[in-house]
Structure 1
Amino acid sequence: MAAETNNNEQISLNVDPDQATQKPSFRRPSSTDTERPPSTQLVNRDANDKPTSEAMELDQEQDDADSDPAEEIADFDWDDLRNRYHAKIKECETNEDELMQEFESLMNYFKIWAGSGHAHETGRTFARLNTRMAYVQNSEAMLEQRRIHYVNVVKAFESAMELLTNGFR
């Protein structure tokens, strides 16, 4: 197969006609190719001996020998299944109720904590506001005293100037 490409030219392929009609061969992976890594395989550490494939085949043959096609299959206890289902659902609902009660008590605790923090912060900001108001009011009072002092100084200069001008005549 040969392929040539230029900037805007088409790709030309030379294919052998015998190869085009043949199907590609696919190799089916073996179990060793698809085996899970050891880290993901479950390990039963409590088992002392593992059943071999021969033992498993013998168990299967024994089960097959014990079952007689003429025997009727035992009925399944559907009522027991329903009862077990409802028992498990009730257990889950009980767990959910306990979790919701715990969540509600924690939320109430959080509301109290957040409220006390808010009240404390409000008290601090109010004290800071009072401090700033007192500072500004004090500054205003001092400014007013200076203004009155400067007005009095100007009046004193004016009266001194008037005395000087009237006193020399």
Structure 2
Amino acid sequence: MKPPILAALCLTFLAPAAFAEELLRNGSFEAGESKWDIEGKAEPVAGPPPALRLFLHEKKWTLLEQELDLPKDAASTITVVLQLEPSADFLPAAESKAYDAVDFAMGGSYGWTARVFPKADFLITVRNSGGWDYRPVKIKQPGQPQEIKVAFEKVKFSKNQQITFALPPGAGSLLLKSCSASLK
């Protein structure tokens, strides 16, 4: 009697992780910048392991983007996990004309019908049906490796679905070691 119960418990708790579908292509940067659209300065880092260094621009946002291929029947949660390391001199601009006047607090979860760029240390967005979902992220300690994990709930299929990782105007760089986005 115990083995069937144990098997059922294992399936209940382990099966959801096994069925998570990876949405990003080249999230480990083994192929450098391949599969990514980049606006701003970026350099592949050979590794090991390989990575991608993104540079903050004095006046403009630096964008790393990729189209998502969600199933048409998808109305699920996208979980994004990033391994990154900001340079010791990483410093977002305190004020910039590139910041849109929207009041998004870092660590929050927001939806907006237009694409905006609020003041944030790092911004993750997913284009959803009807607009954009935003996760402004605080960089905790420049010069130290960090893991960032955010979730976008109830994401529905739409044409031209896209994920964006955005660095604000400022100084320094950010080493993106790996990124994944999975659909659950």
What range is the shorter-chain TM-score in? Answer: under 0.3
* Bigger Rg, which one: 1
TM-score, normalisation: structure 1:
0.14
Q: Which has the higher strand share?
A: 2
TM-score, normalisation: structure 2:
0.14
